[in-house]
Amino acid sequence: MSGTSLDGVDAVLAETDPAGGIRLLHTHYLPYPDTLRAQLLTLHRPQPDEIHLAACAGNELARLYARATKAVLEAFPGTIRAIGSHGQTLRHRPADGYTLQIGNAALLAELTGITVISDFRSRDIAAGGQGAPLVPAFHAQVLQHPGIHRVIANIGGIANLTDLPVNGTVRGWDTGPGNMLLDAWIRRHHGTHYDRDGAWAASGTVHSALLAALMKHAYLIPSPPKSAGREQFNLDWLDATLNGLGEAVDAVDVQATLLEFTAGSLADAVQRECPGAQELYLCGGGAHNSALTQRISALLPRLRVATTAALGIDPDWVEALAFAWLARQTLHHVPGNLPAVTGARGRRILGAIYPA
C-alpha cells in the first residue's frame, strides 16, 4: 500500500483462511526517496508531457514495490500466492468516471515472479460507484463485533470512516482531510514531511474565522456515499481560503486550525452519520499524532477512542492488510466492494490480474 500521504510503501505478508480471515505474518516499510515524492506531488497537477512522466514514475514505483516484497520474503520466506498492489493515486475523479493509480503491475510481476492484482477501484467506478473507500468490507470481515457498535477511522492523507453497527448496513466514506493538509503546510514552512505528535500544531492557537471557512467546504455537506482526494483538499484551496479572510494568520496558527479541521470534520461525521456508536478505533499515520487523537477524543466524549492495536492489528498495517485481503477476494472470484459504501449498482469482483 502507498497512500495519499506519499510517505512510502507499506508491505505486509499475510495468510488468509477459507473463511476470509487474515493473519499478519511480517511487515516492511520502505520510505519514498525525496525525488520520487516531489515528482508524485507534481504529477497531481496537469504537467507538460505528464503521460510520459507518470509512466516513468510508475516504473520507479514498481521497482520500489519489488524491493519491499524482497525485503519481506528475505525475513519470512514462504510460498506466495499473489501480491495485492494498490498503486499510487494520481487522480481520483469518480464523477468523471475514472481513477488512476500508477505502479506498473506488469513490471512488478516480472521483477518478482509473483502474480500481481492491481487496479482495485476501476470496476466499482464503472458500476456507478465512488471506487472508495474499499477497506470497509475488510473492516467488516475482521473488526466487526456482534454486540458493540464500532466505528473504524483510517487517518491517512484523507480520513475515512467505516460504520459497523450491530444491526444494520455497514457504511463507509471519506470524511475530509486526514494528514494531507497538515503535512503540506509543515513541509512548506519547515521542510519536514510531517508534524511529529502534532507538536507544532499544539503550539499554535485555532483561528476561529479560518476554521469556520474551512468547515464550509462543499464536500462536507452531502451525506455518503462520497470520496475525496487531493482534488478537493490541497494547498491551492487552503491559500485561497486564507486570502479570502482579509487578514494574516500566523503559520503556526494555521497548523493548529488544520488539526482542528481534521478532528472536527471527522467527529462531526461520526456524530451525524453513526448514531449510537460506542467505540471508535483509529488506524493509519494519523493514529500516531497524539494532539490529533486527543482532540478527536475530546470531541467525542461518549465514545471509547483507541487505536486498532486494542483489537489486535497494529494501526500502521491495517490498510496494507486490507489490500492483501482484497487481492484474496479477486483470486477467489468473490466481490470486494460494498454498494452501500461506494454507491455502486451492485457487488463486483475488483482488480486486474497479472499472472506470474
The pLDDT of residue 306 is 98
Q: For residue range 170-183, list pLDDT tens digits in order.
A: 999 999 999 999 99
**Is residue 328 over pLDDT 90?**
yes
- Mean pLDDT estimate for the chain: 96
The mean pLDDT of 86-103, rounded to a whole number, is: 96
Does 287 share its domain with 191?
Answer: yes
Do residues 119 and 198 both lie within one domain?
A: no
Torsion of CA 304, 309, 310, 313, to 10 degrees: 120
Which pTM does this prediction carry? 0.94
- Write down the pLDDT at residue 254: 98
In a domain, 120, yes or no: yes
Q: Is residue 136 part of a domain?
A: no
Tell me: pLDDT of 76 over 90.
Answer: no
Q: Tell me how far the alpha carbon of residue 139 is from its chain's centroid.
A: 13
Predicted local confidence at residue 75, as pLDDT: 87
Task: Tell me which residue range forms the domain holding 96.
Answer: 8-131+316-354
Same domain, 35 and 173: no
State percent of the chain over pLDDT 90. 93
Same domain (yes/no): 203, 303: yes
Pairing relationship of beta strands 304-307 and 279-283 according to DSSP bridges: parallel
How far apart are the C-alpha atoms of 352 and 87, rounded to whole Å?
12
Say if residue 54's pLDDT is above 90: yes
Question: What's the mean pLDDT in 190-199?
Answer: 95
What average pLDDT does this structure show over 80-88? 97
**Statement to judge: residues 94 and 204 lie in one domain:** no
* CATH number assigned to the domain comprising residue 22: 3.30.420.40
Q: Is the pLDDT confidence value at 78 over 90?
A: no
The verdict on 220 and 189 lying in the same domain is yes
Task: Decide: 343 and 46 in contact? Cβ < 8 Å.
Answer: no
Q: Are residues 118 and 210 in the same domain?
A: no
- 139 lies in a domain? no
Q: What is the per-residue pLDDT across 143-172, written as a single tens digit (0 to 9) for each?
A: 999 999 999 999 999 999 999 999 999 999
Q: How many domains does the chain have?
A: 2
Residues 183 and 252 both lie in one domain = yes
At residue 311, does pLDDT exceed 90? yes
* Residue 247 lies inside a defined structural domain of this protein: yes
Looking at the fold, whether 301 and 219 belong to one and the same domain comes out as: yes
Residue 137 forms part of a structural domain = no
**Residue where the block lists cell 496537469:** 46
Q: Is pLDDT of 323 > 90?
A: yes
Whether the pLDDT of residue 92 is over 90: the answer is yes
Cβ 124 vs Cβ 337: under 8 Å = yes
Inside any domain, residue 97: yes
Which residues touch 87 (CB under 8 Å, ≥6 apart)? 2, 58, 61, 101, 102, 103, 105, 118, 119
Residues 285 and 161 placed together within one structural domain of the fold: yes
C-alpha span between 298 and 292 (Å, rounded)? 10
Q: What is the pLDDT of residues 1-43, one digit of tens each?
A: 998 888 899 999 999 988 888 999 999 999 999 999 999 999 9
Using the Cα atoms of residue 109, residue 110, residue 111 and residue 113 in order, give the sign of their dihedral.
positive
pLDDT digits (tens, 9 = 90+) for 268-306: 999 999 999 999 999 999 999 999 999 999 999 999 999
Give the chain as a 3 state SS string: CCCCCCCEEEEEEEEECCCCCEEEEEEEEEECCHHHHHHHHHHCCCCCCHHHHHHHHHHHHHHHHHHHHHHHHHHCCCCCCCEECCCEEEEEEHHHCEEEEECCHHHHHHHHCCCEEECCCHHHHHCCCCCCCCCHHHHHHHCCCCCCCEEEEEECCEEEEEEECCCCCCEEEEEEECCHHHHHHHHHHHCCCCCHHHHHHHCCCCCHHHHHHHCCCHHHCCCCCCCCCCCCCCHHHHHHHHHHHCCCCCHHHHHHHHHHHHHHHHHHHHHHHCCCCCEEEEECHHHHCHHHHHHHHHHCCCCEEEEHHHHCCCCCCHHHHHHHHHHHHHHCCCCCCCHHHHCCCCCCCCCEEECC
pLDDT in tens, 200-250: 999 999 999 999 999 999 999 999 999 998 899 999 999 999 999 999 999
Cα 148 to Cα 140: distance, rounded to the nearest angstrom: 13
Residue 350: φ, ψ to 5° = -100, 155
Domain co-membership, 99 together with 188:
no
Q: In this structure, what C-alpha cell is assigned to residue 179?
A: 494528514
134: which 3 cell numbers? 474499499
Q: Same structural domain for residues 201 and 266?
A: yes
